[in-house]
Amino acid sequence: MNKVHNFCPFLGLADDSNTHMFFPSDSNCCYHAKPVSAINIEQQQIFCLTEEYENCKVYNKKVLAALPEEFRASKSQFKKEKRFNWKILFRTLILITTLVVILQIPIIKGQLFKNILFKESPTLSPTFVVSTATFTPIPTHKMSIPIEEILPYEEKLFQATKTSMAQTMSPESTITLSPTLTSSPIPTLTVTPTMTATYTATPEPIVHELDALIGTDYQFVIHKAKSGENLNQYATLYNTSVEAILRVNYALNIPLWVDALVVIPVNFSDVSQMPYFQPYKVTSEGISVETLAQELATNLEDFIYYNGLSRGENLNSGDWLIVPRYQSANQ
């Protein structure tokens, strides 16, 4: 069998597993042991640095274990040498220097402030300059001034005016003062009357239309029949009965015709004591209740009562009313 190495492949230095001394040395270590340990000189000479390394019992172990006592160097357990980390030292020095500078800044600032605050300023000695003046008295002289020169200016002016007037006026002349009154024109205020027209809207007359409630105590509606409608529908819609509808209508054709006018009681069905009613549309504007009742030959009191009208009321053209009749048209 050809051997690849003539030394053990697990031989190395403490800090490099791929390098070893080619002669017996305390620096050679076994990397097939756990932990890595230095090998004594005798074992290196017999196994590690020779072709006999394959016969080494440590080499043939499949599980890493501690190096046997007889294989170890003078130290029972090998420890790797630790390299000195210069980077850590350099960073530590920088940190210490920075802290020292930071701590010194307040002290320096305090010293500077103290020097500025308590710095001695030069003493200024005021110098007073005294000037001497020489007073020379002015000799006084007696002076005589005419009295006219000391008169006030106004008095002199009055004297001059008086003399001038005496020279130019005769004794008989008189002075007349004529005051002149200057009047300003009085402004004239012109008032233009404004007429405001007030328009009073006249309410549109209330027209009692079809399907509108008629009456007060008893209410009715006048309805124009449409195609498909019947009395049962009217009775249900207005809360009454078919018999009541048939009873109150003066003239109603059965079967019901389209466009037929039907008087319908609202919310009641007892009509036994009531007259028959005939639908009527007012055609005269402003006609009175009394006049219309007379024209229609009906009782005035019943006409007013069942239509909810009042005496003297004027009716409008287009109003729908119910005219009381006391006998059915079918009789």
For 235-291, how does the pLDDT look when each residue is reduced to its tens digit (9 = 90+)?
999 999 999 999 999 999 899 999 999 999 999 999 999 999 999 999 999 999 999
**Residue partners of 136: CB distance under 8 A and separation at least 6:** none
Q: Is 307 within the bounds of a domain?
A: yes
Confidence class of residue 167 from pLDDT cuts 50, 70 and 90? low
Q: Is 189 within the bounds of a domain?
A: no
Q: Is 300 within the bounds of a domain?
A: yes
H helix intervals, 118-269: 153-168, 231-237, 242-248
Q: Dig out the tokens for 194 from the structure.
A: 């404004």
Residue 21: domain span: 11-71
Q: Is 51 within the bounds of a domain?
A: yes
Task: Kindly report the length of the chain.
Answer: 331
Answer with the one of 24, 48, 71 that is the final residue of a domain: 71
Confirm if 281 and 307 have CB atoms less than 8 A apart. Answer: no
Q: Is 321 within the bounds of a domain?
A: yes
Q: Is 130 within the bounds of a domain?
A: no
Q: Is 193 within the bounds of a domain?
A: no
So what's the pLDDT on residue 152? 57
Answer with the one of 47, 71, 95 that is the final residue of a domain: 71
For residues 213-242, one letter each, b for 16 or more C-beta atoms within 10 angstroms of the residue's C-beta and e for the rest, the string is: ebbeebbbbbbebeeebebeebbeebebbe
Tell me how far CA of residue 300 lies from CA of 2, 219, 279, in angstroms: 152, 18, 16
Domain count, the chain: 2
- How many angstroms separate the CA atoms of 323 and 249, rounded? 10
Q: Which residue type is seen at 328?
A: S
Name which residue leads in pLDDT, 236 or 113: 236
Name which residue leads in pLDDT, 117 or 243: 243
Rounded to two decimals, the pTM is: 0.40
Mind listing the pLDDT tens digit for each residue in 86-103? Answer: 778 888 999 999 988 888
Answer with the one of 37, 53, 71 that is the final residue of a domain: 71
Q: Is 58 within the bounds of a domain?
A: yes
